[in-house]
Structure 1
């Protein structure tokens, strides 16, 4: 009944987790969900107020522009200049997206013919691989190994693969590992892209979830990056707007144009009331972002202290709201996540769900209060690990 592309898909990771969580809840267990990266705090009030006002404006009720409201793209360009120090022409180098997941899934359609290769990190957000497959492309896995600071080894990619490669995905600060990348690494990526004529797509969804004085650089800060790539920014995690579905792409105008041609044939643009709320988020004081980062830092420190006391090896994250921890050697990542759920009522994401190279790790999302994280740590301490 279903197409081959659907039949070839593995079960979507977070849907599978939701099913397992529901079964445990049916048994009356008080579940502490540290699984899916969905902020637990509401969208900030000034953004909600802006949305309410925009919804009452009849002009927002009609079809929006395919490429996004000029005012939203202009706000995106201002935000990029003020927060990342990059200059963007909002008319030709910016594009509104219905969330960055939509962008990740659709951009391969603009640059991959059947059989072309996309370089996909592993472990990683599953949609990089799935979007490639839906476009008829061939994913080539770039292992993200702890000994390489969870950065891909570009020199290890075989020459015959590079001859077919048209696209490369990367994501720093990284989901799920919370690893970060330096400008030096981005310079290497630009040189690699030029040499091999590869389009770079940098998914920068966690760019502003940072701690301890760390500032995440933009890929586009590097000389020549605008010649080879684009960067995706999402309002979802930064402003607690996951359900609103609003994001933007910035970068090389030819790549933006090609991507825009796909979107104009697939969707009808983002609801203008949501875009107006997005303008408010981008143009207003960013103190709300700083405040949320302070909240996540407290949660991070609480969880790290507990995991350390249990002897679980962790790289303390300086960005994202994830903690990527090694599981005890006697467990697979799935077995350990099942143990946490069934014996302690804790949802965490098995590393292998993000790819084969995620085996041996588990991801905790900092999406519960300090008190609930303390409760989760207390439950884990009672387990025989």
Structure 2
């Protein structure tokens, strides 16, 4: 176990992260920060206790016998209680396919993979609700509505989203499905649709049809999925996509506009958020460093932002969350967050061990 990197910080609350109330954070702290060996009895015990996490138990208790949450036909809505989001959370919390409920959930989600390879918000049965709304609206306007068979394929394909596909692929990889054909197809589709500027857009979504600049939300999730794809499974296309995608993030210093004097693009990206399904600078830093770009000085502004948020006691505070939209709270806004603290310490460890040093700029 190595702790040399900790000397770069004013305080590292390891004992707090190792407390038994958050079993996944305890396990990841032992594995990622303290580098316990895989055959260490304490680490093995911590892994066995992952399913005892109260949030995980709550999520699994809400699962229907058929393997889904909320709606059988719509795994995307309602946010953030339907099936896609629960599987993403279970992946974050260290669960894997050895749990039968995970297998049932994944089996259900695979029904929502488009033949192109991306994941969609709904298939035919879910599309019928939208079709009825369109038909009634057109009827009121005395417009002709095409048959459902003519209308549905394009509507389903429009819901094939890069951000969704990246997040689902990431979750399935974490859950132990990295060698499944569905992952190969999803990652190949993401490589295929990468934008010319190195970012990603949702290619068939109406809101993106005329866009040319990559979307940060659509970019971070494919890169995150690639970052947890075992290197032996990374095709030449994936490796090229990683290089181009990371450059897109770096050219923006993770949160700044490269065409407008590097002004902040979105101030919410600077807020410490968990769970994070989309984009902020912590997720940006985590992905860029996992992919091996921690020596690039263009991450330093983002590093300074998060380091200036550290409490004197070593923790980081939860600044933004999805209160009321999940199956119960994970952590409390305004309080120190074990999940955010763990993620930032992973980032700092990678940076210090790679660079050999860490210098903090105090921000005004």
Shorter chain as denominator, the TM-score bin is under 0.3
Larger helix proportion of the pair? 2
Q: Give the number of the structure with larger relative contact order, counting CA–CA contacts within 8 Å between residues 6 or more apart.
A: 1
Q: TM-score, normalised by structure 2?
A: 0.26
